[in-house]
Chain A
């Protein structure tokens, strides 16, 4: 590594996840530069969410290492991952449906800032997500796309350094998807973001480096235009391999 190249924010190497006899992830490397926006695509069961679970700390890898900000993080308690600045939006919206929208955002802040600052931040977040009129509404009563946004907002409340989004646009309308892509592109350079997606229009709109997973392995990696043109990737998506 040359002296000019900055240290990657995340360097996961040789990750393996075994569940009994099943290998969901079989030796994956994922290196992210600070401020990078990255997409991970692949058919169902490719091991994308399992990879997220390992990077976010909810699943301990069977093998491999994860260095985050130059420090090995495997084995740290789950809540420590969030405290180190790794935030995650789950595949299935998992907000607190009984709590008001505002409280969902407030509770997502863990750094112990003053109540006033926390509230200010939550109000700014609601305005940014277009949820300012739903502040007192039960989060469970939101429309599906709004729930996805609220969860992205929850992930952002603690001002993370690494944002992991698992299918952020699932169930969104075309217009909502477009606005989500705009939101994420706006983070470029400031926040390292990894997005798992199925919606190719959305991935194209993000226009970022794309990693393709299939059967627990990375089979392709590069700019989206190149991935889109890749014959192997097409075959995998069409079920020919």
Chain B
């Protein structure tokens, strides 16, 4: 730490190097996975990656700027439904991507309107979380109620896969392997972009806002504007994940926009480690795998378990599981050091 802090210019600290190493190591797994697996298992991993990307969007808002949204599934769902509704109107090879862009634009628009009034109205902490919870409920009700457009409970089938085309030439990612690589490339780009942005002064300002917003404001930072921009980017990224999900799975249903998904994404981030950017992907993988196991045993058990975990988290480890592991790790290192120093 000290060594990195005192060298001038842009240092690459040991912590930075460790993070990059872990990120690269973890990226290698999904990169090589298609070599030895079947298309079905690959599609499961691909979908988990998409949910990891969704969790990353929440981690940017919650882990970096310190604001917890309980309505993030609304942004994911708007991206998914936007894609599924707009794409068939467009037609052609690029329909899916155009629909996805429309979904992202809608989600960012909602984030700007809702975020403007909440953030500049001074709504923070638990109040922000509760209002965004309502956002999730409203979105779910609209999707179920407006069946003529959204397909109601049944959802919409037939969202085209991602692709582009010019006249005769076309390039459509229709198979799980190419879709998997598309999702992986987008995920990596998003992780690296957020990581790079948060390394310098911008990350420091966000950390200051997270720690003590009023103090950050008295230091001359327009904290409201910073938070609104982070919320917009986070909503846009969530909608991108939703749009990707609609395109690769080919269908959307109300469970992509509901309260359960909003809760699950918080749990993924909490388990993976808030603010770590890689953690949310790990959290999504681990929890989705667990969900598969539990649901094959008894499908009704899962919401109960997630709910119980959530309550335990609020009371026992509000900062997520990572600090617990970090503390255990520090203690182990401390013991090891003492042993090494002992004659």
Interface residues of A (CB under 8 A from B): 56-58, 77-79, 81-83, 88, 90, 94-100, 102-103, 106-111, 115-116, 118-120, 123, 132, 135-137, 154, 158
Contact = CB atoms under 8 A, between A and B. Distances in A.
Interface of B: 1-6, 8-10, 200-201, 204-205, 207-208, 211-212, 214-223
Contact of A79 (B207, B211, B223): B223
A98 B216 CA distance: 14
Given A102-B5, A136-B1, A58 B218 contact: yes
A82 B8 contact: no
Nearest to A89: B218
B220 A79 contact: yes
Given A56-B218, A158-B220, A116 B8 contact: yes
Top 9 nearest A-B pairs (CB, nearest first) are A110-B220, A82-B220, A136-B2, A136-B1, A136-B5, A135-B5, A107-B204, A96-B211, A78-B217
Contacts of A154: 219
Given A106-B204, A119-B8, A136-B6, A99 B220 contact: no
Contacts of A123: 6, 8
Contacts of B216: 107
B218 A82 contact: yes
B322 to A, nearest CB: 14
8 contacts: A77-B222, A98-B211, A99-B208, A100-B1, A103-B207, A106-B201, A107-B208, A136-B4
A109 B10 CA distance: 17
A96 B211 CA distance: 6
A84 to B, nearest CB: 9
A99 B220 CA distance: 18
A77 to B, nearest CB: 7
A158 B219 contact: yes
Which of A57, A79, A90, A103 has the largest count of B CB atoms less than 10 A from its CB?
A79
Given A116-B8, A135-B2, A107 B207 contact: yes
A24 to B, nearest CB: 19
Contacts of A94: 212, 215
Given A119-B9, A136-B4, 8 more contacts: A77-B222, A94-B215, A107-B205, A111-B220, A115-B200, A119-B8, A123-B6, A135-B5
A88 B223 CA distance: 17
User: Looking at B4, B204, B208, which has the most chain A CB atoms within 10 Å of its CB?
Assistant: B204
B1 A96 contact: no
Contacts of A135: 2, 5-6
Given A79-B222, A79-B223, A58 B214 contact: yes
Given A58-B214, A99-B211, A107 B219 contact: yes
A82 to B, nearest CB: 3
Contacts of A116: 8-9
Given A96-B211, A116-B9, A110 B4 contact: no
A83 to B, nearest CB: 5
Contacts of B200: 115
Nearest to B200: A115
A181 B171 CA distance: 72
Given A115-B200, A118-B201, A110 B8 contact: no
B201 A96 contact: no
A114 B324 CA distance: 37
Given A115-B201, A120-B8, A136-B2, A96 B217 contact: no
A98 B319 CA distance: 14
B157 to A, nearest CB: 48
Given A58-B214, A103-B207, A106-B204, A79 B5 contact: no
A120 B8 CA distance: 8
Given A123-B8, A136-B5, A99 B207 contact: yes
A96 B221 contact: no
B150 to A, nearest CB: 41
Contacts of B2: 135-137
Contacts of B1: 100, 136
A145 B333 CA distance: 31
Contacts of B8: 116, 119-120, 123
A58 to B, nearest CB: 6
Nearest to B211: A96
Contacts of A158: 219-220
Contacts of A136: 1-6
A75 B108 CA distance: 30
Contacts of B217: 78-79, 82
A107 B3 CA distance: 19
A110 B218 contact: no
A160 B214 CA distance: 19
